[in-house]
Structure 1
C-alpha cells in the first residue's frame, strides 16, 4: 500500500522507506507550488492511488475520513507520548 506524507511529515520519507514502506511525499508527487499541494489535490491523489495519507493537520484528517480516505494522524498526545518515553530513557 502506498503512503503519501503531507508536507510537515516529509522528513520521515527515507526512514519509513528503509523500514519497507512504499512512501512518497506531497512535494514529490504534486510539486512544490502551494496551490498544487492543496488539501483537495492531496485527497484526490490518495483516492486515485489508494494511498494512506500521513498528516498532523486535524482539520484535514476529518476531511479525509469523511471522504473515506485512509489516514494516519500524529496528534499532540502522540507527540507527548513519544517525548515522555524519550525523557524516561534519558533520566533512567
Structure 2
C-alpha cells in the first residue's frame, strides 16, 4: 500500500475480500496523515507512508501516522508495497 494524500480528499476507505479474509484500510488526511489497516490472518502488508517511511505489517489491526505531506512522495509516486497472502 502506498497512500498519497490529496487536499481534495480528506477521508478514504478501501475494502477487499480475499481467500484469507478482509483487507480493510481507512485513511484520514488532516494535520497528521492517519492510516488504519486490518491485515488478514496469515498475511503481511508493506505500507509506504507519504513521508517515505516503510512499514511491514503482520496480521491484525494497525494504526500508522505520519506528517501530512502534499504532492509527490520523497521516493516518487510509484506503487512500492502490497499485501501478500
Q: Above 0.5 in TM-score?
A: no
Whichever of the two has the greater Rg, that structure is 1
- The structure whose residues are more often strand, as a share, is 2
- Bigger relative contact order, structure 1 or 2, given CA contacts below 8 A and separation 6+? 2
Give the TM-score normalised by structure 1: 0.27
Give the TM-score normalised by structure 2: 0.28
- The structure whose residues are more often helix, as a share, is 1
